Amino acid sequence: TLYPKKVDLTNCDKEPIHIIDKIQNHGFLFAFHPKSKTVAYYSENCLDLFDTDYSKLLSVTLNDLLRDDVVDQILSNLEKEKTIALDVSIKNKSFTLMSHNNGEYIIVELEPTGQGIDSVVYQEQLSRTISELNLASDELTMCDTAAKLIKDFFGYDRVMIYQFDANWNGKVVSEVREPELESWLGLHYPASDIPQQARKLFLKQGVRIIADINSVPKHILKDASNNNALDLSQSELRAVSPIHIEYLSNMNVGATLTAAIVFQNQLWGLVACHHYSPKFINYHRRVSCKFITQVFSTQLGLRSANLLLQKTNQSNKIRSRLIEKMSQNWDIDTIVSEGENSILDVTEATGAALCIDQQIKTAGITPTVKEIEKLIDWTRKKSESDIFTTNYLSEKYDDGKEIVKIASGLLAIFINKSKRDAILWFKPEIIQTVNWGGNPHKAVTLENEKLTPRKSFAKWSEEHTGHSDPWLDYEIAAAKALKEHIAEIIIQKYEEITALNE
Ligand code: BLA
């Protein structure tokens, strides 16, 4: 495959940015055949670095270009996807040499050594990161703390913690910025701003800089008989998609650093740093940023896992009390409406209904019995399995608008195969004003057959109606478990009754 000449609306998230065939111009790249050790690819600026011409470079080997001990170290790292870094000097200039095996070739990249980081400072940074994150009492304070630390350590003009939602739209949840900049805190951005292939690369690489959006990238050259582009997924110098360059230029941004916040192998969000002029952070400091972000990601993950565990335990406790009550005394009224241990309390719903033997009992705030009957009929036909969830009922259900305020969220579970009996939980509508960074419905336009990102990122507000809070996995699990128990009890009661009648 080769890089397409034209990127349009249909292939935006298919733009193969990993084979862009160019690098950013602050460094040099070449790639070798692992066996013959001859050059297969090199960035055009290598000709200056090594004072050679095109015909020569493709016939030289690794040993012709670098010291033997450096070559030995490069060749000792053939393990895929691991990068090693060495300090080298070429023509009296110091470089950081970064090398990795991309599966086919050994890629060697050189960049200026830049402002170093001594190990004492580095350890202080880590220790400060860990202790300040430990002090943070909740998720949001943790994000604020991380943004502040990263701003202090790396000096970007604006540092944001950007969190993805279930549909890969994102929101700036924390921000630390220079005082003259306007705030983007709380602004939302559509998923198309960071397409899926770009997100995927962050899982592989962790940290990436764009040192100067106005620099002219350097082409990667190869033998004319070679038709394959070099896979740069893990390259430190990979050049940037022209669409993203235009995007940053429309934002007046000059340089970025982006670090992946990952837990459970999923991209939770990004640390997004902007500078309004060019800015280069050298490899060792990028690694330190990656490490700090990993510490932050782990802490964030632990904290949210703990919170979830607390909620799950609480819900389990209520469920077992409820089951005990049900098996002692099968009384629908008690199960549904009495005090703290009712079916309402196993989830975070504000209303619940139990429908057994054509009888409906409700707890909390619910639609009327008539409305619930209609809703169950509809759900029965609509759902293919025994469970149905939505946090946007009025989108699917015609009569949903009448009950939108109390039942925008519906979790319905059928107790038996015949779908006669059911339990329903309801969540209310949460009306929100969502502020977007620019109109998300015009995130991209086609200009002279060329795709361009929006030019204005000014706040654009939209009323978000008809939605409830989402149903969490633990709520759905609790509903399923409760249903199993109720089904068992119903069967048991039925058997007892038939035994009595015999
Ligand atoms: C990449 N888009 C990105 C990246 C971010 C954003 C953080 C990661 C790369 C980086 O900057 O280092 C988006 N940046 C944001 C957002 C904020 C921010 C939302 O600061 C909010 C504050 N972009 C578009 C459209 C397309 C597109 C319409 O707007 C495609 C049609 C593509 N974005 C795009 C591509 C990349 C990208 C291809 C990857 C760039 C690369 O790595 O080469």
> Is the complex ipTM more than 0.90?
yes
Give the model's pLDDT for residue 144.
97
Query: Does ligand 1 have an atom closer than 6 angstroms to the CB of 202?
Result: no
Give the model's pLDDT for residue 10.
57
Residue 400 token pair: 């949903």
CA of 161 to the centre of ligand 1 (A): 15
Of 100, 32, 89, 96, nearest to 66 (Cα)?
Answer: 89
Report yes or no on 207 lying in a domain: no
Select from 111, 144, 166 the last residue of a domain.
Answer: 111
b/e sequence 295-306, b meaning 16+ C-beta within 10 Å:
ebbebbbebeee
User: pLDDT tens-digit profile of 69-104?
Assistant: 999 999 998 877 799 999 999 988 999 999 999 999
Report yes or no on 209 lying in a domain: no
Range of the domain at 482: 329-430+473-501
Torsion angle of the four alpha carbons 249, 251, 256, 260, in this order, in degrees rounded to the nearest 10: -120
Residue 17 · residue 197 · CB < 8 Å: yes
Report yes or no on 181 lying in a domain: no
Kindly report the CATH number assigned to the domain that includes residue 37. Answer: 3.30.450.20
Select from 89, 111, 133 the last residue of a domain.
Answer: 111
Kindly report the CATH number assigned to the domain that includes residue 481. Answer: 3.30.450.270
Report yes or no on 277 lying in a domain: no
- Residue 210's DSSP bridge partners are 256
Of 359, 485, 344, 369, nearest to 426 (Cα)?
Answer: 344
Residue closest via CA to ligand 1's atom 22 equals 172
CA of 453 to the centre of ligand 1 (A): 10
Task: Determine the length of the chain.
Answer: 502
CA of 452 to the centre of ligand 1 (A): 12
Give the model's pLDDT for residue 443.
87
Select from 111, 135, 151 the last residue of a domain.
Answer: 111
Query: Does ligand 1 have an atom closer than 6 angstroms to the CB of 436?
Result: no
Q: Rg of the chain's alpha carbons, rounded to an integer?
A: 29
Query: Does ligand 1 have an atom closer than 6 angstroms to the CB of 193?
Result: yes
Of 247, 257, 269, nearest to 173 (Cα)?
Answer: 269
CA of 438 to the centre of ligand 1 (A): 14
Give the model's pLDDT for residue 9.
52
Give the model's pLDDT for residue 174.
98
Please count the structural domains in the chain. 2
Residue closest via CA to ligand 1's atom 9 equals 258
- Burial class from Cβ neighbours inside 10 Å (0-12, 13-18, 19+) for residue 398 reads exposed
Q: What is the pTM of this model?
A: 0.86
Report yes or no on 463 lying in a domain: no
What is 14-76 written as a DSSP string? G--GGG-SEE-TTSEEEEE-TTT-BEEEEETTHHHHTT--HHHHTT-BHHHHS-HHHHHHHHT
Give the model's pLDDT for residue 450.
76
Report yes or no on 314 lying in a domain: no
CA of 241 to the centre of ligand 1 (A): 9
Element (H, E) at 188: strand 188-189
Instruction: Tell me which of 9, 11, 244 to substitute to probe ligand 1's pocket, judged by most ligand atoms within 8 Å of the beta carbon.
Output: 244
Instruction: Tell me which of 13, 150, 181, 247 to substitute to probe ligand 1's pocket, judged by most ligand atoms within 8 Å of the beta carbon.
Output: 247
CA of 388 to the centre of ligand 1 (A): 35
Q: At what angle do helices 283-328 and 139-154 cross, to 10 degrees?
A: 180
Query: Does ligand 1 have an atom closer than 6 angstroms to the CB of 410?
Result: no
Q: Which residues of the chain have pLDDT under 50?
A: none
Report yes or no on 241 lying in a domain: no
Report yes or no on 447 lying in a domain: no
Residue 172 token pair: 């700036």
CA 234 vs CA 187, 400, 416, 483: distances in Å: 30, 49, 52, 48
